Amino acid sequence: MKAFIVDKYKKGGTLRFGDMPEPVLRDDDVLVTIHAAGLNPLDSKIRDGAFKPLLPYRPPFVLGHDMAGVVARVGSKVRRFKVGDEVYARPRDGRVGTFAESISINEADLALKPKNLTMAEAAAIPLVGLTAWQALVERAGLRKGQKVLIHAGSGGVGTFAIQLAKHLGAMVATTTSTANVELVRSLGADVVIDYKKQDFDKVLTGYDVVLNSLDGDTLQKSLSVLKPGGKLISISGPPDPDFARQQGLNWFLRPLMRLLSFGIRRKAKGRGVGYSFLFMRADGGQLSQITSLIEAGIVRPIMDRIFPFEATNEALAYIETGRSKGKVVVKLR
């Protein structure tokens, strides 16, 4: 099958367009013919080698963490899906590879595609949708009347998280650039901080939850926004000891994770708030709940650009500019 392949870890490297073996179908797997694949900053970071100690993929391997397509075959133990079903997923770590013509995915990671979305729109959802769900619903327990600050509101995670937080009944603040103020307002943001004109930490106070996807400086400043008992959840690091345990990291990496997050955890504790690092996981059950929200018109994907499959490297370069609004997708069929 044709695919975009990482031959070696290299910062800013180019993926090779070439042939890879057809995916192996295990008993509890579903073989999917991919129609569209979403791109994420995580793809660039893995290609660059930033996650090599945590996600030890051995080149050559196929990159890509989001997809929508049609079931081509099912394993002998699969019961929830059949040939011809339209599905979407974020495959689990260790089994990614959506920049390809097909992929074999564990049944537990898969969900039926929302009926009211195109394949390209559906491919934009899984990673950012699951990230927002696991941060706001699972980790934060966000509920009606609470206040949440979502950084980078015009990005892939931000555009989804704003809509989800409003559905949960929260008062939502977000940070964005001048060009995207109206976009985030249209998604439901109650308070919009234009970071080119205002310092969010000098404007906001008394928040229950902060979802951070930006740099360490933003992470530190976010502490002052939270009230005692609040929760600072970061998807951009630094990793913490709980993450190390969940990932089953070895004896060498666990103390390193503790050390990397020591400063922010100490400062958070001093302010009476909690810090946690979230590295989202594949979950077809949660994705099915997200499907229900999409089909009910509660959440919609925000699309920036759709590239042809052959232009995957160009699409990745566009993501890396940091100027995309919502999601970027490549279309195969």
CATH number of domain containing 182: 3.40.50.720
Give the model's confidence band at 247: pLDDT under 50 very low, under 70 low, under 90 confident, else very high.
Answer: confident
Half-sphere exposure of 251 (CA within 13 A, CB side): 0
- Separation between Cα atoms, residue 164 and residue 145, nearest integer Å: 14
Residue 62: predicted pLDDT:
98
The residue-averaged pLDDT of 190-199 equals: 96
Whether residue 35 is found in the same domain as residue 98:
yes
Q: Are residues 100 and 32 in the same domain?
A: yes
Question: Where is pLDDT greater, at 131 or 253?
Answer: 131
pLDDT above 80 for 183 = yes
Q: Say if residue 48's pLDDT is above 90.
A: yes
Number of domain units in the chain: 2
pLDDT of residue 136 exceeding 90: yes
182 and 113 within one domain: no
Does residue 133 share a domain with residue 115? no
Number of other CB atoms surrounding residue 91 within 10 Å? 23
**Confidence grade of residue 246 (pLDDT, cut at 50, 70, 90):** confident
Q: In the numeric block, which tokens belong to residue 249? A: 């990291």
Residue 296, domain member (yes or no): no
Asked if residue 267 has pLDDT above 80, the reply is yes
Instruction: List the single range of 64-68, 202-206, 259-263 with lowest mean pLDDT.
Output: 259-263
pLDDT of res. 237 = 84
DSSP letters spanning 218-283: HHHHHGGGEEEEEEEEESS----HHHHHHHT--TTHHHHHHHHTHHHHHHHHHTT-EEEE------
Q: Which residues contact 238 (CB under 8 A, 6 or more apart)?
A: 216, 257, 260, 261, 264, 277
